[in-house]
Structure 1
Amino acid sequence: MHWLKNEHWVRPDLKRYRGLLFWSLILGIMTFVFAGALMFTSGFLIDKSATKPLFAAIYVTVVLTRAFGIGRPVFQYIERLTSHNWVLRITSHMRRKLYKVLETDAAFVSEHHQTGDILGLLADDIGHIQNLYLRMIFPTVVGAGLTVIATLLLGWFNWGFALWIMLLLLFQVLILPWWGLVVERFRKAEQKQLNHDAYVSLTDSVLGLSDWVITHREKDFMSQSLAAPKKLAASTVKSKRFQWRRDFVGQLLFVLIVISMLIWTNLEWTGNQASANWVGAFVLVVFPLDQAFSGIAQGVGEWPTYRDAIRHLNDLQPVTRQLPQQQAVPTQFKEMTLQHLSFQYTPKDPELITDIDLTVHSGEKIAILGPSGMGKTTLLQLVLGDLTPTTGNVLIDGQDVLTYQQHRTNLFAVLDQSPFLFNTSIVNNVRLGNEQASDADVAAALKAVKLDQLVAQLPNGINSSVEEAGFGFSGGERQRLSLARILLQDAPIVLLDEPTVGLDPITEQALLETMFTVLQGKTILWVTHHLQGVNQTDRVIFLEDGRLTMNDTPSHLAKNDERYQNLYALDAGLR
Structure 2
Amino acid sequence: MWKHDTWVKPYLKQYKFLLATVLFLGVLTTFCGGALMFTSGYTIDKSATRPYNILMIYPAILLTRAFGIGRPTFKYIERLRSHNWVLRVTSNLRTRLYQTVEQDAAFFSEKYQSGNILGLLSEDIDHLQNLYLRTVFPTVVGILLVVIITIGIGYFDWWFGLFILLLLLIEVLWAPLLSTSIEAARRERQKTLKDQLYTELTDNILGANDWVLSGRKADFQKTTQTTINQLNASKLISKKFGWQRDFYLQLVLGVIFLVLIVFTNLHFTSTQAQANYVAAFVLAIAPVDETIIPISQGFEEYPMYRDSVKRLNQLHPTPQKLPPQQQLAPADFQTLTIQNLQFEYDATTPVLVRNFNQTIQRGEKLALIGPSGSGKTTLLQLINGDLAPQKGAVLVNQINVRALQNNRQQLFAFLNQQPFLFNTSILNNVRLGNENKSDQQVRDAIAAVKMQDLVESLPQGYDTSVQEAGARFSGGEQQRLSLARILLQDAPIVLLDEPTVGLDPITEHDLLQTIFTVLQDKTIIWVTHHLQGINHVDQVIFWNQGQIEMAGNPQHLYQTNAHFQELYRMDQGIIH
TM-score by length of 2: 0.98
Residue 271 of structure 1: how far off its partner (Å): 2.1
- The aligned residue for residue 29 of structure 1 is 27
Query: Aligned letter for 1:268?
Result: H
Q: How does 1:386-535 map to 2 (within 5 A)?
A: 386-535=386-535
The C-alpha deviation readout for 1:247-275, integer Å capped at 9, x for no partner, is 11101001111111112222322222211
The C-alpha deviation readout for 1:299-323, integer Å capped at 9, x for no partner, is 1111111111111111111221101
2:358 equivalent to 1:358:
yes
- The aligned residue for residue 557 of structure 2 is 557
Residue 63 of structure 1: how far off its partner (Å): 2.2
Query: Aligned letter for 2:41?
Result: G
Task: Give yes or no for contact 2:172–2:293 (8 Å, CA) kept in 1.
Answer: no
Query: Aligned letter for 1:44?
Result: Y
Task: Give yes or no for contact 1:329–1:408 (8 Å, CA) kept in 2.
Answer: no
Residue 373 of structure 1: how far off its partner (Å): 1.9
Query: Aligned letter for 1:76?
Result: K
Query: Aligned letter for 2:446?
Result: L
Residue 379 of structure 1: how far off its partner (Å): 1.2
- The aligned residue for residue 325 of structure 1 is 324
- The aligned residue for residue 15 of structure 1 is 13
SS of the residue aligned with 1:4? coil
Q: Tell me which moved more, 74-83 or 88-97.
A: 74-83
- The aligned residue for residue 284 of structure 2 is 285
The C-alpha deviation readout for 1:91-120, integer Å capped at 9, x for no partner, is 111000100110111233323222211211
Residue 231 of structure 1: how far off its partner (Å): 1.1
Residue 74 of structure 1: how far off its partner (Å): 1.9
Query: Aligned letter for 1:370?
Result: G
The C-alpha deviation readout for 1:172-222, integer Å capped at 9, x for no partner, is 001111111111000000000101111111111111111110001111101
- The aligned residue for residue 336 of structure 2 is 336
Q: How does 1:124-139 map to 2 (within 5 A)?
A: 124-139=123-138
Task: Give yes or no for contact 1:47–1:277 (8 Å, CA) kept in 2.
Answer: yes
- The aligned residue for residue 241 of structure 2 is 242
Distance 1:227 1:363 in 2: 57
Q: How does 1:161-240 map to 2 (within 5 A)?
A: 161-240=160-239
Structure 1: gaps (5+ residues):
none
- The aligned residue for residue 271 of structure 1 is 270
Aligned residues, how many?
A: 573
Q: How does 1:254-265 map to 2 (within 5 A)?
A: 254-265=253-264
Task: Give yes or no for contact 1:102–1:109 (8 Å, CA) kept in 2.
Answer: yes
Distance 1:563 1:370 in 2: 14
Runs (4 or more) in structure 1 with deviation over 3 Å come to none
Residue 330 of structure 1: how far off its partner (Å): 2.2
Task: Give yes or no for contact 1:194–1:228 (8 Å, CA) kept in 2.
Answer: yes
SS of the residue aligned with 1:540? strand
Q: How does 1:3-82 map to 2 (within 5 A)?
A: 3-53=1-51, 54-82=53-81
Distance 1:23 1:152 in 2: 22
Query: Aligned letter for 2:454?
Result: L
SS of the residue aligned with 1:359? strand
Task: Give yes or no for contact 1:383–1:394 (8 Å, CA) kept in 2.
Answer: yes
Residue 59 of structure 1: how far off its partner (Å): 2.6
Query: Aligned letter for 2:74?
Result: F
Task: Give yes or no for contact 2:101–2:317 (8 Å, CA) kept in 1.
Answer: yes
Distance 1:148 1:5 in 2: 28
- The aligned residue for residue 371 of structure 1 is 371
Q: How does 1:531-542 map to 2 (within 5 A)?
A: 531-542=531-542
SS of the residue aligned with 2:424? coil
Query: Aligned letter for 1:322?
Result: K
Query: Aligned letter for 1:421?
Result: L
SS of the residue aligned with 1:433? coil
Distance 1:488 1:222 in 2: 44
Distance 1:199 1:325 in 2: 41
Task: Give yes or no for contact 1:32–1:292 (8 Å, CA) kept in 2.
Answer: yes
Residue 55 of structure 1: how far off its partner (Å): 1.7
SS of the residue aligned with 1:5? coil
Query: Aligned letter for 2:472?
Result: G
Residue 348 of structure 1: how far off its partner (Å): 4.3
Structure 2: gaps (5+ residues):
none
Residue 5 of structure 1: how far off its partner (Å): 1.8
Query: Aligned letter for 2:20?
Result: F
Distance 1:10 1:89 in 2: 13
Task: Give yes or no for contact 2:113–2:199 (8 Å, CA) kept in 1.
Answer: yes
Query: Aligned letter for 2:96?
Result: K
TM-score by length of 1: 0.98
Question: Over aligned residues, Cα RMSD in angstroms?
Answer: 1.1
Distance 2:107 2:63 in 1: 65
The C-alpha deviation readout for 1:488-524, integer Å capped at 9, x for no partner, is 0000000001100110000000000000010010000
The C-alpha deviation readout for 1:470-491, integer Å capped at 9, x for no partner, is 1111110111010011110000
SS of the residue aligned with 1:386? coil
SS of the residue aligned with 2:223? helix
Distance 2:490 2:527 in 1: 20
Residue 162 of structure 1: how far off its partner (Å): 1.0
Residue 563 of structure 1: how far off its partner (Å): 1.3
Task: Give yes or no for contact 2:150–2:162 (8 Å, CA) kept in 1.
Answer: yes
Task: Give yes or no for contact 2:337–2:358 (8 Å, CA) kept in 1.
Answer: yes
The C-alpha deviation readout for 1:383-407, integer Å capped at 9, x for no partner, is 1111111111111111111111122
Distance 2:501 2:107 in 1: 20
Residue 280 of structure 1: how far off its partner (Å): 0.9
Q: How does 1:287-302 map to 2 (within 5 A)?
A: 287-302=286-301
Distance 2:10 2:56 in 1: 54
